[in-house]
C-alpha cells in the first residue's frame, strides 16, 4: 500500500487568543483523508519566527508533506516565510516572478508592504494551478498556504491531485449499546485484525444511537473481513444501522 503522511502547521496569534476559530486544519484533515493521505499532527503556534523555525525543523523531515496556514500577508505579524527560512537554514529572497505579478496587480498602490509578499525562502518553487491569479509557494515538502479560509481552500483544491495517495475505505456501525459494553468486542476484533483503524465515538443525547464505531483500512478486503468479525460479535439487538 502506498501511504503518504502529512502534518499541518497553523500559524497565528489570533487563533491561540481565541479571536478567530481556525477552520483550515479541519478542512485539511477531511481533504487529506479523502486523498488517502494520513494527517499525523496539527500544530497551532504564534506569529514568532523562532517558534515557527523550531516547528519546521521538527516537522519537515518527519512527514511526507507539511502544510502551513497563515502568516503570509503584508504586515508585521506575517513572519511565516522568515520562520520557514530560518528553520531550513536558508535565506529569504524576493522571487522575481512574484514581484512582477505584485507590481502588475498593485499599479500605483505598490509599496514595501505589498512587495513583502514577493518574499520566499531561498530555493522555493512556485506552483501555478487551476485558474488562480497567484501561485502557491512550495519549498521541499512544505506547501505554504494563506490563513484566509476562502483562499486556503481555493489554493488547496487547485493543487490537491498532486498529493493523492492510495485511498482509505471505511465501514461504520451505529449501536445503541454503551461504549463500555462493546469495549470487549472492539478489543477482540482489533486482536484479530491488528492493522485495522478502529474508532469508537460516543454521542450524548442522540435519540438514535449511543456509539458510532468506524472501521478503516487501505485494504478493502481486510476491512470487510474485520467488519464482518465485529458485526458477528456485537449483540445484534443493539445495532441501529451500518454504512
- Among left, alpha and beta (phi > 0; psi -120 to 50; other), residue 4 is beta
Sheet with 239-242: list strands edge to edge.
Answer: 197-202, 211-217, 169-175, 239-242
Smallest distance, Å, CB 149 to a copy of itself?
9
Please name every residue paired with 45 in a beta bridge, in sequence order, or none if there are none: 11
Cell of 99: 514581484
Is 61 a binding residue for a copy of itself by CB under 8 A? The answer is no
Q: What is the DSSP-derived secondary structure letter of residue 108?
A: G
Applying CB under 8 A, does 31 fall inside the site for a copy of itself?
yes
Please say whether the beta carbons of 9 and 15 come within 8 A: no
Please, which residue, 4 or 116, has the CB nearer to a copy of itself? 116
Nearest distance from residue 215's CB to a copy of itself, in Å? 12
Q: Does 184 bind a copy of itself (CB under 8 A)?
A: yes
Contact with a copy of itself (CB under 8 A): which of 50, 103, 178, 232?
178
Give the E-state strand segments of 20-86 in sequence order. Answer: 37-45, 65-69
Asked if 154 contacts 117 with a C-beta cutoff of 8 angstroms, the reply is no
Min CB(25)–a copy of itself separation in Å: 7
Q: Which of residues 114-153 bind a copy of itself (CB under 8 A)?
A: 114, 116-117, 148, 150-151
Please list every residue from 72 through 91 that binds a copy of itself, using CB under 8 A.
Answer: 73-77
Q: Of 49, 92, 113, 164, which one interacts with a copy of itself (CB under 8 A)? A: 113
- Tell me the C-alpha to C-alpha distance, in Å, between residue 194 and each of 34, 41, 129, 232: 23, 22, 40, 17
- Between residues 17 and 221, which has the closer beta carbon with respect to a copy of itself? 17
Q: How far is the CB of 23 from a copy of itself (least distance, A)?
A: 8
Residue 92 CB, shortest distance to a copy of itself, in Å, is 17
- As a whole number of Å, the CA-based R_g of the chain is 22
Whichever of 77 and 122 has its CB closer to a copy of itself, that residue is 77
* Residue closer to a copy of itself, measured from CB, 11 or 88: 11
β-pairing, 119-121 with 136-139?
Answer: unpaired
Minimum distance from CB of 179 to a copy of itself (Å)?
6
# residues near a copy of itself by CB under 8 A: 64
5 CB-near residues (< 8 Å, 6+ apart): 37, 38, 39, 40, 62, 63, 64, 65
How far is residue 57's CA from residue 51's CA, in Å, rounded to a whole number?
Answer: 10
Q: Is 221 helix (H, G, I), strand (E, B) or coil?
A: helix
Residues binding a copy of itself (CB under 8 A): 10, 13-22, 25-26, 29-34, 38-46, 73-77, 106, 109, 111-114, 116-117, 148, 150-151, 168, 178-184, 186-187, 190, 197-202, 204, 214, 216
Amino acid at each position: 500500500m502506498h501511504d503518504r503522511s502529512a502534518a499541518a502547521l497553523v500559524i497565528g496569534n489570533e487563533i491561540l487568543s481565541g479571536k478567530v476559530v481556525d477552520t483550515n486544519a479541519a478542512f485539511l484533515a477531511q481533504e487529506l483523508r479523502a486523498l488517502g493521505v494520513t494527517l499525523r499532527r496539527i500544530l497551532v503556534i504564534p506569529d514568532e519566527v523562532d517558534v515557527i523555525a523550531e516547528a519546521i525543523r521538527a516537522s519537515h523531515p518527519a512527514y511526507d508533506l507539511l502544510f502551513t496556514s497563515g502568516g503570509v500577508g503584508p504586515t508585521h505579524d506575517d513572519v511565516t516565510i522568515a520562520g520557514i527560512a530560518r528553520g531550513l537554514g536558508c535565506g529569504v529572497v524576493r522571487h522575481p516572478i512574484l514581484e512582477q505579478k505584485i507590481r502588475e496587480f498593485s499599479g500605483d498602490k505598490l509599496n514595501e508592504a505589498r512587495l513583502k509578499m514577493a518574499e520566499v525562502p531561498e530555493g522555493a518553487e512556485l506552483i501555478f494551478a487551476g485558474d488562480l491569479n497567484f501561485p502557491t509557494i512550495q519549498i521541499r515538502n512544505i506547501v505554504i498556504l494563506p490563513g484566509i479560509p476562502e483562499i486556503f481552500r481555493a489554493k488547496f483544491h487547485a493543487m490537491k491531485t498532486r498529493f493523492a495517495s492510495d485511498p482509505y475505505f471505511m465501514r461504520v456501525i451505529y449501536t445503541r449499546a454503551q461504549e463500555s459494553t462493546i469495549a470487549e468486542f472492539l478489543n477482540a476484533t482489533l486482536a484479530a485484525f491488528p492493522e485495522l483503524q478502529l474508532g469508537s465515538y460516543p454521542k450524548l443525547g442522540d435519540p438514535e444511537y449511543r456509539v458510532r464505531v468506524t472501521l478503516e483500512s487501505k485494504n478493502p478486503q481486510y476491512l470487510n473481513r474485520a467488519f464482518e468479525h465485529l458485526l458477528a460479535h456485537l449483540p445484534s439487538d443493539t445495532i441501529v444501522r451500518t454504512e
